[in-house]
Amino acid sequence: MKNLRSEKSGKLIIVAYRLPFKLVWENEEVRLFQNSGGLVSAVLSLVKSQNNAAFNADEKIQWIGFSENSPEELEGQSMENEHFQAHPVFIPADVNENYYEGFCNNLLWPLCHYFPSLARFDDAYFEAYQTANQLFFEKLAEVIQPGDTVWVQDYQLMLLPALIRNHFPSNKVGFFFHIPFPSFELFRMLPVAWRKALVDGMLGSDVIGFHTNDYVEYFLKAARLVSGYGNKLHYINMSNRIVKVDSFPISIDFDQFNEAFEDPGVVQARYDARLSLKEKIIFSVDRLDYSKGIIHRLRGYQRFLETYPDWHEKVSFVMVVVPSRDTIEQYQQMKSDIDQTVGRINADYGTISWQPIIYQYRSMPYPELVGMYTASDVALITPVRDGMNLVCKEYVASRQDNRGVLILSEMAGAAAELGEALIINPLDKQDIADAINTAFVMPEEEQMKRMEAMRQRIRDYDVFAWTNDFFTQMTMLELEHERLRQV
Ligand code: ADQ
């Protein structure tokens, strides 16, 4: 097959709200701690795989992201490590408040997760969103050169692809949307000018990626109804160029989770969990967010305790919630609802020798996380809406022993891929309760059959395949553009 790498390939530039590092001051010097989040490992997979054609993998990846530190604090500090060179974007605090907490998290997040009643519409939000996207663009303009490929990430930067296209028309631009793109009935709640700016902004890209076919269809409908662009087989013809819209279900580093099963720290954590907990273990872990269905999960568990009293004293539900956005009032309210509900269930059902829910509000170190994944009989994942959900994929990849049962909400993007899970409606308490009981009585052979099928799928389409797939589409589109230019 022809080598797809173009001679003109330049460097890769990632633009995301967050930088790939945390900055920590020690003795007046800054030290960089690389984040271990999904996007960073996905991008690192590109470095490891080296066989993509869209950009030159020998050059350090450039990463543009918001800086929590002031320009004075960062002056003279090196902002690179072995893989990344970071370019901090400075956004004044009042603008960032209206941009990030406002437009992004008080409007786009609830709207895209089907919570329109929580969405706040404020002109100052949209103004700040435009200003912030412009600031990201200005930083990019200092870095970009002909031949470079830009990969823009997520709902914080929907206006950016069009800004790039207008000023640097020959650079390749990819965009990935990590949360659900909502059905048109939700999207049309945005003021006409805003929704048009968002759709046109994204259409500045060459390739636009979503997690599922549903999100692709919803976006294509918005592009047609908001901006008048039809499509043919997911290709939108923009007169002088083509935009490809497709689904790329994000994944994880399967081998890393699979191999962790035997790490001494993981073995120890698994042993400790089994020793200190009851004979059946249910586990859940997520960020504090109303989209994650934490309250619904608790109600489902409560219904399980009501309906299946034979399991009393025999089950421990370990629920770990990572603090997130807890400066926003709705999140504080939700946190206190969760605290109260956990307290009530433990008070109603607990005994001297049994605590039905063990609840922790903290981030969990990796060995402990995989220790819990591999000790649990059930992973209970019940978002009321989730773009993909990586926790369920991590659980499955960790189960080298092919044991355990995944209970998964039909509202998670991942449900489209993991049909062998027990799929539930997270709003239906009885459905959750029955699924827990079904999981507890499921014969080992059936657990193994389901687990093996899911593991095979994630092994085949891991995070390396995901990034490779996206950049293959970018390269194919570039070839198509070259062909069109010659016609
Ligand atoms: P998130 O909403 O953050 O991501 P998710 O995909 O589940 O959700 O990823 C969470 C990550 O955080 C997982 O890797 C998990 O292990 C980790 N994590 C969660 N709780 C933790 C804890 N207490 N301690 C340590 N680690 C913890 C957004 C979208 C998702 C989409 C991803 C990627 O909302 O739908 O899957 O982006 O596109």
* Residue among 294, 391, 406, 461 whose CB has most ligand 1 atoms within 8 A, to mutate: 391
CA of 461 to the centre of ligand 1 (A): 18
Asked if residue 287 has its Cβ within 6 Å of ligand 1, the reply is: yes
Q: How far apart are CA 245 and CA 230, in angstroms?
A: 12
Cα(175)–Cα(178) distance, rounded to whole angstroms?
Answer: 10
Q: Is the CB of 478 under 6 A from ligand 1?
A: no
For residue 143, count other CB atoms closer than 10 A to its CB: 16
Q: Are 286 and 382 in contact (CB under 8 A)?
A: no
Q: What's the confidence (pLDDT) of residue 23?
A: 78
pLDDT of residue 52: 58
Cα 465 to averaged position of ligand 1 atoms, centre (Å): 19
Nearest protein CA to atom 23 of ligand 1, as residue: 363
Residue 286 Cβ < 6 Å to ligand 1: yes
Cα torsion 399, 402, 406, 412: sign: positive
- Look at residues 143, 154, 235, 248 and name the one whose alpha carbon lies nearest to residue 201: 154
- Structural contact between residues 224 and 259, judged by C-beta atoms closer than 8 angstroms: no
Give the closest residue to 154 by CA, choosing from 16, 292, 41, 14.
Answer: 16
CA distances, 159 to each of 39, 63, 220, 481 (Å): 20, 18, 17, 23
285 CB under 6 A from ligand 1? yes
pLDDT of residue 6: 47
Which stretches of the chain score pLDDT less than 50?
A: 1-7
pLDDT for res 326: 74
**What pLDDT is recorded for position 471?**
92
- Residue 348, by phi and psi: left (phi above 0), alpha (psi -120 to 50) or beta? alpha
160, 186 Cβ separation under 8 angstroms = no
Specify the pLDDT at position 341: 98
Give the pLDDT score at 330. Answer: 80
Q: What is the pLDDT of residue 337?
A: 96
Residue 256's alpha-carbon distances to 261, 266, 403, in angstroms, are: 9, 12, 18
Ligand 1 site, residue 266, Cβ cutoff 6 A:
no
Q: What is the pLDDT of residue 36?
A: 66
What tokens were used for 292?
């994650």
Per-residue pLDDT, 73: 82
Supply the pTM of this predicted model.
Answer: 0.94
